[in-house]
A and B are shown apart, each in its own frame.
Chain A
Amino acid sequence: MTATSLHSKTTSKQTLEIPKLARLSAKKLTLKHDKTSIIESLDVSLPEGKVTAIVGPNGCGKSTLLNGLSRVHSPSSGIVLLDGKDIHSLPSKEVARRLALLPQDTLAPDGITIEELIRFGRHPHQSMLKQWAMDDQQAINYALNAADLDGLKDRLLDTLSGGQRQRAWIAMSIAQETPLLLLDEPTSALDLGHQIEVFELIRHLSRQGKTLAMVVHDLPSACQYSDHIIAMKKGKIITQGSPKDVMTKELVRELYGVECDLIPDPMTGSPILINMKRIRS
């Protein structure tokens, strides 16, 4: 190797650059489980550089939509576009360098350490010939740092708290160095403290320039930690927009059959739900 190429290689890898923003959208997307359609002819696009929360009642197709957007679920008709190209026509590895996915109910083998888990995030950047390189180690250190797991890298995943464990999984997708990150219920099964821990990490990633989309069950958290809300019911998008604009009594009633009042959070101004009552229909 010549001196110049060596030099250019080392300098180009000095800073961890997240690639340019990627655009993810769907056109006339229809997703089916067996023969029943969950989502029919849906148009959606994720606003760049923002946190999008997908909310809605159980079974409304939130997770299915996320799976469709992340090419885990193939569409029956319609198309998912990543940077203007059909996501299913792109090589899977190429997609994995632009879009990371954190499914719900992740399960790791016993005896895996945090660093080992995060290393998996480098798979899309490796090949048979390029097994492990300096930039891989850098990305891992960066991910450990971003997820605040610096001192814990050799700890076993199953010895951690729920919040730390979820941060470790998110760190894996950080190491993937994608401009897009999709998370399916990242805070379900976590207690309040751990939920906030994870939401704050998501906020932090958004400030770094990532485009994020997450399925969230808890409406107040969705309002507080997202810039854009997509409200779904029965496989259709009812409304979308910024939390302040979208979140109304009427929407809560329509989505969940719950009567409530909304007041602005005195600190952040994001809507808070009070006086909640289930309406019998």
Chain B
Amino acid sequence: MTAELVRGQNHPLSQARLEIRVSAGTPVVAAATLGDEQGRIHGVEWVAHPGTPTLPGLEVSKQAAADHRLAVDLEAMPEAVHRVSVLLALPNGSGGPLHFGAVAAPFVAVTGLDGTEVASYTVTGLEAESALVALELYRRQGAWKVRAVGQGYAGGLAELLTDQGLPEAHQLAGSMNEAVARGQARSVPAPPPRTPDADRSRQAAAPALGPDQSGSAPHGAAAPQGAPDAVPPQPMTPYGPQEPHGSGTTGGPGPSVPQHPYQGGGAADPSAVTQNAPTAGGPIDYSHPRRQNTAPPPPPPTAPPAPPGQPAQPVAGDATGWSMDERLYNQVWGMFEDLARTTAAYRSAVDFADSRMEKELDQVLSDPRSRIGGQGDAAREVARAKHAQLVEQAKAALDRDLAQLTAEAGVVEPALPAAYARWDNPVWHGYRVPMEIPMALRLGDLHLPEATGLRIPMLVRLPLQRGLWIDSGRAGSLDGSFADSHELRRLAMDTAVALAGRLLAVYPAGEFTVHAIDPAGSGAQALAPLVQTGVLAAPPAVGAAGVADVLARLTQRVDLVQMAVRGGAADSLPPGLDTSEQLLVVNDFPHGFDDRAVTQLRYLADEGPAVGVHLMMVADREEAAGYGPLLDPLWRSLLRLTPVPDDHLADPWVGHAWTYEPSLVPSGSQVLQQVLTQVAAARRSWNR
């Protein structure tokens, strides 16, 4: 039975152990004072406050908070105590409200230990007061009662304590505030406020996805010839690591948000404390961290109602998202996951059927009765039939799911935007230089041996989170049939150029720059589309001097942007600095690289992605074996792609080995040249 008290009203207390709950709309300090028969406080030791939170029979919180629970044990009170006053005060120096008139009326309730409310009181009618006595528990003829007081003090705690007869009122009020501020400094700093980011694509792209390269060991046992290349398979993730970093194009604001340092426990310096306080008590950002407050997305296309018993007809873009691009991206990832899982179900059912049959056949063999007559044969037949039946069922389930996914791929593939589409998709013939960066980029196709016809687009988020490594080594091919290493190198370079061209095409004019290093000139033929259309920043660098020059310039850029970002001064970059994303295509590594150049390359691989400088290595790891383990981190940091189909990529859910196939321009097609010509033209007009 709860008594809702009004000011001045009292209520008997039947329990001695109580809890007093306080809820205020804003952080407040809760404290309690003990008084004698006249209501006087005998000394500072009779005040429970954040600095001395426990007294016999009384405990209060150490910090300012919007909600408090004070524990009271009236039986444990000293004999001399006749009154317990519950105080609330607004912490000063926290940047919060300064008087109770500005906040919601505080609510206090006296409850039993089981949570049942005995009495409650809402302190209303407050104006300029910054401290108040909310309740008092008092002893009357041997029994305890509670009274709603609601007496406020504009002069704050000092005035309140003076009124209760405490001589050291001012000192105590000061030390209480200090204790509160210290408590705030100790608490975990609130997350830095998110900088408003108008550009959706860039914001979404910051946590870019990295279908991790997994070395050439696809899946445990089936490691191909290149065993030394083996790197533990890492899964791809749809959203990748959630690292808050800005896009390097603008020297993004993300990392420039200063990290609020923890204040040590003994941080008594009030200036440091108050400086820190607004962080802890700062306003709460209610917006979803990865959602943007704009108009609701247009409704996704909905599938027509399916006839009962039939799966719904697939529709392109039938997924969640704010734009068609995002919906298609999510749909592709959904198909990817469904195919991975469906195949896992099929494989596990077949594995189980195999192991069960094996066990049953073993049993037949070990059973002496089976040696007589046809009994053994019959049992073997039964075991085989059970196996066949289960496998058949599993196959039926797989076929059903594959048919559905194939139908979905059939409508999704033609609907893809250029950045997600294969080069043979007609969308590339209607190519226009885009105005904004797309969400993701298709690096190629993925498929599983169970469904070789069902190709899942391999989409990675933009901007790239990590560099790419086009493996021109022989170990990379599935069966080693590409004995001709020249052929493989040519294909690797073609793959690199197709990807670089694709990146150039999907970025708005002037926001993506490609450099090339081709020390021996062996990639000249493959690089021709980039060189002839004039989309490269400069002709491919040749020789050791060229290598050193390009690396030095990119290293300097990384340094500058990094310094600016760390110093929070993104505006102070030199005016001549090219702010676009950079891609460095390196052919024939390590030819033309000296030790210094290798170090710089590693530096670019480590530090570049965060500031928009990416690597694309076209290399055979074997050829760089002379550097020993020095380069292992480099290879690991890059996403390995192969110029020929190879099953080296793992999905993030089940870890199947997926066969990757690069997205190459169909032979004889001029689509890449046409697209790059448009890019070059757009860049010329943009530069003017």
Real complex partners, A and B? no
Question: Which chain A residues have a beta carbon within 8 Å of chain B's beta carbons?
Answer: none
